[in-house]
Amino acid sequence: MAKNKANRPQARLPRGFADRTPADIRRTEAMMATIRAVYERWGFEPVETPFIEYADALGKFLPDEDRPNEGVFAFQDDDEQWLSLRYDLTAPLARMVAENFDRIPKPYKSYRAGWVFRNEKPGPGRFRQFMQFDADIVGAASPLADAEVCMMAADTMTALGFGPGEFAIRVNSRKVLDGVLSDIGLPDADPRRLTVLRAIDKADKFPLSEIAKLLGPGREDESGDFTKGAGLDTAQTDTVLALLDPDETPRISDDLQRIGEIVATAGYDSVIVDPSVVRGLEYYTGAVFEAELRFEVKDDKGNPVRFGSVGGGGRYDGLVGRFRGEDVPATGFSVGVSRLAAALALREGAADRASGPVIVTVMDRGAIADYMALTTQLRAALGDEVPVEMYIGDSGMKAQLKYADRRNAPCVVIQGSNEREAGKVQIKDLAAGKAAAAEIDNREDWVAARPAQIEVDADIAAIAAAVRDILK
C-alpha cells in the first residue's frame, strides 16, 4: 500500500465512461426483459458476439481505414493485426452470419444486447461506452421485412408503457438520398457522402441554417469546437436541404411506399414516413427507421424540448456481402438502452433508489450464529419477494440503522437479549418511521410512540408475514 500521498494512484473515472448504480442496473434489466419478450414473441432468437473484432470486419464506416483507431478503440495483436472493440452490434452480426452462412436458416431472425464502444469526443449524454439492444432479419429482401422490424419496434415502445402520440417510428429510404447525392456529383466512392449523411442526421437537433454549415465549410459550436463540413457548394447544399424542407413535396421510393402500405393495413398508426430520417452510418442501402419519443422534457437551460430519438436502424444489404462478394439482404433495428432507460425514468418519475434488502441487525456479538440462522431462514421464507441480509460490520445500532437507510431497506429485524429471552423480534418499517418521525417533536413522544415498529413472535412464518405486510 502506498503510504506516500504522492505515490498513490488517483481515483478517477475515464472521460466518456460511467459507473452504474444498483437502481440503474435493476431498471435497465427490467426494461430489457420487456424488450426481449417482444422480440421473442415475433420469433427472434438470441445470439452473442464478442466485444472484440478484427478492425477490417467493422467495414467502411470507419472514419479512416489507414488509422483504424480513429473512431474505435483499437490495438495490434502479436501478429500485428488490428483488433477493435466493437463499434456497434450490426457489423459483428454481419461477420458472424457470413462465417456461418450455410448453417444458418434464412431468413435469419436474431436479437443481441451488449456494450459497444466509440472513440469519440464525450459530452453531456454522450458516452464512449453504451449498451444497445438489436434485432435483425438477414436473408429477406422484401419490404415486408423492413415493415416487420418497424412494427416490432412500435410494439416494443407500447410494451414499455408509451401510449399513442407519445412515440413514433419514423421511416424513410436512403435510395432517394443516394440518388440525389449521385445527381449532385457525389458517387458512392466519394468520402464526402458520409459527412453529408451525418450532417442530415442532425436535422432533429439543429435548424436548417446550421445543417447548411455542416454541408458547406463547417460549423463552430458554442464551446468553440469546429466540425469540418462536407465542402459542398451553394447549389449542392440547397439541393440536399430541399429533402429536409417540410414545405417541399417528399420524394417516395417504391420500397418506402410498400412499407407504408403494409404498416397501414396492419393498423400501426405510429409508423410514419418522414423524409428527414437518414441515419448517420454509410452502410445503409434502403429503408431507414428511427424511434422517437415525442413527449417534452427540460433541457440544460430549463427550456421544454422533445425527448427525441431512442433507437433506429435500417436495411444494409451490402454489409454481410462484404465477406461473400455478393449482396445479402438484411435489415434491423437498434435500441439505445441507456437513453431509453433515462426516458422511462423521466416519464414514470422513477425513484433514484430501488428497494433494498431487509436487514437483520446484530445486537449481541455473542449470538452471531443465531442471527445468521435467522437470516438464512427468513431468506428462504421470503424467496424471491425481497433479498435478506445480516449486518456484518462492527458498528452499533445507530450505525446499523444508518446503513439500512443507505441501502434503502424497507425494514430491519431487531432482536436483542431481552427479545430473545421473550421469544420475540422487533420489526421496524423504515419508510413509515421517517414519516412518523417528521411529526414527533421530542424524545419522550418518540419513545412512547415507537413509530412504525412492531413486535412479533420469533417464528419465521410470523416474521415473514410481517415483512410482507410492510412491503404491500
Confirm whether residue 236 is marked as ligand binding: no
89 in a known ligand binding site: yes
> Cell triple for residue 264?
397501414
- The H-or-E segment that residue 116 falls in is strand 108-117
Q: Is 284 one of the annotated binding-site residues?
A: yes
The answer to the question of whether 21 is labelled as a binding residue is no
Give me Rg for the CA atoms of the chain: 28
* Total residues found in the chain within this entry: 472
The Cα 288–Cα 333 span in angstroms is 9
Most distant CA atoms of the chain, gap in Å: 91
Q: How many CA atoms lie within 13 A of 94 on its CB side?
A: 30
Angle, helices 174-183/192-200, rounded to nearest 10 degrees: 130
DSSP-assigned states of every residue in 341-394: HHHHHHHHT--SS----EEE--S-GGGHHHHHHHHHHHHHHHTTSS-EEE--SS
Tell me if 403 is assigned to a ligand binding site.
Answer: no
Q: Which residues pair with 297 in a beta bridge?
A: 305
Asked if residue 133 lies in contact with residue 48, where contact means CB atoms within 8 angstroms, the answer is no
Query: Phi and psi (nearest 5°) for 145?
Result: -65, -40
- The Cα–Cα gap between 316 and 327 comes to 9
Give the angle subtended at the CA of 62 by the CAs of 105 and 245, to the nearest 5°. Answer: 90
**64 labeled binding residue:** no
Alpha carbon dihedral 285, 291, 296, 300, in 10-degree steps, equals: -60
8 Å CB contact between 243 and 180: yes
Residue 28 counted as an annotated binding residue? no
Q: How far apart are CA 45 and CA 136, in angstroms?
A: 10
Cell digits of residue 127? 458516452
Q: Which residues participate in the annotated binding site?
A: 88-90, 118, 132, 136, 279, 283-284
Q: Which residues participate in the annotated binding site for L-histidine?
A: 88-90, 118, 132, 136, 279, 283-284
